[in-house]
């Protein structure tokens, strides 16, 4: 098994220091400056990579606030392209949602500013990223974690965030600028050749025997799906997409995370002092690789007794009334080996929602559906293609009712659901947030090539 590293050599041993902190100082970030930057993604001796970054780093600053607090951040755009910031998974007022043309004009290039300000109703793991020219802007490094702490967070020894991302780099560690290529756009999206954890290729992640870690995973990749296994460890999933659920151990210990999805894990470090354990990503079975090693320090165990797994308080998301919900069937189509829109009329558009391809330079289009404010809805999301699609709804949190007709045993909720090829999923939610909300595939090349729609709540 090889590292997913185009250079085929071990990168510098970037070992994270063991930081014994339970709760971190909350975010003091007041401004996000969007600008080109350079960062060592692969490590010496390879050159630094020219990226686009928030406040000079990829990922951007980790924003950490507490549930119920107000986020207030001014974004300054120093790119020479327009941009916006979308606060993925947050139930916020429509005008703060960061969708260009639909909820705000793009933040102008070379100095434009926009003030985002809204309350954080739900605790959990969220993230932020642009919603304009997404394949390129996210692909060049614009994203960051937004952590909303519980008012009374569970006791853990460490709260760590791994922002997972992948890059398509050449041998000089430069980004290959083939955004929106035909192959990527019409197939699985732009999957890179180098995977980074919070902005660097990591060899190892230091842990201590007996330690309990809350590990927050954020999939910030354009298109890559992860299937992470922690050898010698059995993580609990305690929240998905920020929303608490009954803690469970995923099948085969493998945590599957589509683009834009997040998982909160609790990992009890039961390994021996001095031992090493691989973290492997084998979502694409033929292309399994080692992400990094969990490396135990030689210190003795900080505790031996197992503790009960923490349960998080649910957020106050309204419960849909399933019996009286109005149903809609939404079919995602197109792609290679599927019914692609005619290239005569829809050049470069390969995907559809209910038969319609929508361009992402034109977010302002007629709504696919208009929903009555306060009413419950069930959407049957049908994947009529040969590809995976992580489908994301803005401004709301939905519950997953069933997959291919089988009731979902966990009743998990979230903002993004991964549809396997040729499957269907039922979701339910209360349309309680007025405005125009995107419903789209979070494989950004699919979104840009037609797979998006606007849902209006009026």
What residues between 83 and 112 interact with ligand C2O by CB under 6 A? 86, 88
Q: Are 127 and 143 in contact (CB under 8 A)?
A: yes
Report the chain's C-alpha Rg in angstroms. 21
Alpha helices in 75-176 (DSSP H): 134-139
Which residue from 40, 39, 139 is spatially nearest to 81, judged by alpha carbons? Answer: 139
Structure tokens at 100: 């260009």
Between strands 369-371 and 452-457, the pairing is parallel
CB 350 → Cu ion: shortest distance, Å? 10
Report the residue number, 213 or 451, with the smaller CB distance to ligand C2O.
Answer: 451
Distance of CA 310 to the CA centre of its chain: 23
Please report whether residue 446 would count as binding Cu ion according to CB under 5 A.
yes
Candidates 3, 158, 262, 389; binder of Cu ion (CB under 5 A) is 389
Residues in region 67-86 near ligand C2O by CB under 6 A:
86
Query: According to the binding rule CB under 6 A, does residue 438 interact with ligand C2O?
Result: yes
Q: What is the smallest separation between the CB atom of 87 and ligand C2O, expressed in angstroms? A: 9
The residue from 51, 71, 291, 443 that contacts Cu ion (CB under 5 A) is 443
Outline where 141-187 has alpha helix (H): 182-186
How many residues bind ligand C2O (CB under 6 A)? The answer is 10
48, HSE (Cβ side, Cα atoms, 13 Å)? 10
Residue 354, token pair as written in the block: 């209910």
Distance CA 376, CA 312 (A): 25
Instruction: Report in angstroms how near the CB of residue 453 gets to ligand C2O at its nearest.
Output: 11
Other beta carbons within 10 angstroms of residue 391's beta carbon come to 28
At 312, list the tokens.
């998080």
CB of 100 to ligand C2O, least distance (A): 11
Q: Which does 392 bind (CB under 5 to 8 A by kind): Cu ion, ligand C2O, none?
A: ligand C2O
CB of 446 to Cu ion, least distance (A): 3
Longest dimension (CA), the chain: 67
Q: Choose the contact partner of 446 out of ligand C2O, Cu ion, none; CB within 5 to 8 A by kind.
A: Cu ion
Q: Starting at the earlier edge strand, list the strands of the sheet with 144-149.
A: 63-66, 144-149, 124-129, 86-88
Taking the complex as a whole, the smallest distance from the CB of residue 148 to ligand C2O amounts, in Å, to: 16
Per-residue string for binding with ligand C2O, 222-261, x by CB under 6 A?
Answer: --------------------------------------x-
Residues 118-177 that bind ligand C2O (CB under 6 A): 129, 131
Pick the closer one to Cu ion by CB: 168 or 389.
389
| Stretch of 63-71, 102-110, 343-351, 438-446 contacting ligand C2O, by CB under 6 A | 438-446
Burial (CB < 10 A; 0-12, 13-18, 19+), residue 193, is: middle
Asked if 346 touches Cu ion (CB under 5 A), the answer is: no
| Site residues for Cu ion per CB under 5 A | 389, 441, 443, 446
| Site residues for ligand C2O per CB under 6 A | 86, 88, 129, 131, 260, 392, 394, 438, 440, 442
């Amino acid at each position: 098994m090889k590292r997913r590293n185009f250079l085929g050599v071990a990168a510098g041993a970037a070992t994270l220091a063991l930081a014994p902190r339970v709760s971190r100082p909350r975010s003091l970030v007041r401004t996000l400056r969007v600008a080109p930057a350079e960062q060592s993604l692969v490590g010496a001796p390879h050159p630094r990579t020219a990226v686009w970054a928030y406040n000079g780093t990829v990922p951007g600053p980790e924003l950490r606030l507490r549930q119920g607090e107000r986020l207030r951040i001014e974004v300054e755009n120093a790119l020479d392209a327009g941009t916006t910031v979308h606060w993925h998974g947050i139930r916020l007022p429509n005008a703060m949602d960061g969708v260009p043309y639909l909820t705000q004009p793009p933040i102008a290039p070379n100095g434009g500013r926009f003030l985002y300000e809204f309350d954080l109703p739900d605790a959990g793991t969220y993230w932020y990223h642009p919603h304009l020219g997404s394949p390129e802007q996210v692909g060049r490094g614009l994203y960051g974690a937004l952590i909303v702490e519980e008012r009374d967070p569970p006791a853990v020894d460490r709260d760590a965030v791994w922002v997972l991302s992948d890059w398509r780099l050449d041998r000089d560690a430069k980004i290959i600028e083939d955004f929106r290529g035909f192959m990527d756009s019409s197939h699985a999206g732009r999957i890179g050749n180098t995977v980074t954890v919070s902005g660097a290729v990591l060899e190892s992640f230091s842990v201590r025997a007996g330690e309990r870690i809350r590990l927050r995973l954020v999939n910030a990749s354009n298109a890559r799906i992860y299937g992470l296994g922690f050898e010698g460890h059995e993580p609990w999933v305690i929240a998905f997409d920020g929303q608490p659920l009954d803690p469970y151990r995923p099948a085969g210990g493998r945590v599957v995370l589509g683009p834009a999805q997040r998982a909160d894990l609790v990992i009890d470090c039961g390994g021996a002092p001095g031992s090493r354990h691989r973290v492997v990503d084998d979502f694409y079975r033929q292309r399994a690789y080692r992400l990094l090693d969990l490396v135990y320090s030689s210190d003795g165990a900080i505790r031996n007794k197992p503790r009960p797994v923490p349960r998080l308080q649910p957020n106050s998301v309204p419960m849909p009334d399933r019996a009286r919900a109005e149903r809609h069937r939404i079919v995602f189509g197109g792609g290679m080996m599927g019914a692609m829109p005619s290239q005569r009329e829809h050049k470069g558009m390969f995907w559809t929602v209910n038969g319609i391809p929508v361009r992402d330079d034109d977010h302002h289009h007629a709504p696919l559906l208009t929903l009555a404010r306060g009413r419950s809805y069930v959407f049957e999301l049908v994947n009529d293609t040969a590809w995976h699609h992580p489908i994301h709804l803005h401004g709301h949190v939905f519950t997953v009712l069933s997959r291919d007709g089988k009731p979902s045993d966990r009743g998990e909720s979230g903002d993004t659901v991964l549809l396997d090829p040729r499957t269907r999923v039922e979701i339910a939610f209360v349309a309680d947030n007025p405005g125009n909300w995107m419903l789209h595939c979070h494989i950004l090349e699919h979104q840009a090539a037609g797979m998006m729609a606007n849902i209006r709540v009026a």
